[in-house]
Amino acid sequence: MIELVQVSKLYNEGQPNELAAVRDVSLHIEEGRVTVLEGPSGSGKTTLLTLIGCLARPTQGRVLLGGRLLSGLPEPHLARVRRQTFGFAFQRFNLVPGLSALHNVMLPAYPLGLPHAQLVARAREVMASLGIAHHESTRVELLSGGEMQRTAIARALVNDPAVLIADEPTANLDAALVLQFLAIMATLKARGKTVIMSSHDPRITRAALVDRVVTLADGRVVGAPDGGAP
């Protein structure tokens, strides 16, 4: 379980232009479920995802994983937890142009220090599971939008994380690709993965596989069925 306790994130703290991106959020996220953070642009969805995934530290409050306090860990330890526990799929994919799909997928696994052949085998396995093994040698800028998305998801899954975090994953996808994405998420859920997404796309928030929708406005949780607060 991931737990946020009275978490806030301030930018330019103490300055005239101080901005509270997340305000006093308390939230339980159950493992093995699909949770969607919804809200308009500027509501704090992306910032909250970065706090959940330990990409940023809260200004105030605590972030816990399985009862273990994460937000106070030194950066080397936090990086290890982040690498082993979370996989990230970004809205614009963040693939590295000029590199093949295979090498993009392998990138998060390099810090594990595994033999190169093992890294290649691991990346190929996850690409095959997403139906893109035949594109392993293709430079990512030559892939279609759907192929880019599956490559980004493969990269997020290459370390076999318990939690997949996806930020606005369908923002630039047509209806057919959204259905493909939802099918992939359903497969991950069936495998026991925890999926946390941000989206204001009703095709996502109303999808049958979604267990819970947490609504944000002005950095605060304004709706969270199933007990948003501890």
Quick: pLDDT tens for 132-145.
999 999 999 999 98
Q: Indicate the helix (H) or strand (E) that contains 74.
A: none
Among the listed residues 36, 50, 42, the one whose alpha carbon sits nearest the alpha carbon of residue 7: 50
Task: Give residues with Cβ within 8 angstroms of 128, minimum separation 6.
Answer: none
Residue for token digits 């305000």?
23
- Predicted model pTM: 0.89
What pLDDT does residue 226 have? 61
What's the confidence (pLDDT) of residue 227? 47
Determine how many CB atoms are found less than 10 A away from the CB of residue 61: 17
**What's the pLDDT at 228?**
46
Structural domains in the chain, CATH included, are 2-223 (3.40.50.300)
The dihedral region occupied by 94, where left means phi > 0, alpha psi between -120 and 50, and beta the remainder, is left
pLDDT at 162: 95
| pLDDT tens per residue across all 230 residues of the chain | 899 999 999 998 888 888 999 999 999 999 999 999 999 988 999 999 999 999 999 999 999 999 999 888 898 888 889 988 999 998 778 899 999 999 999 999 998 888 999 999 999 999 999 999 999 999 999 999 889 989 999 999 999 999 999 998 887 778 888 898 999 999 999 999 999 999 988 999 999 999 999 999 999 999 876 644 44
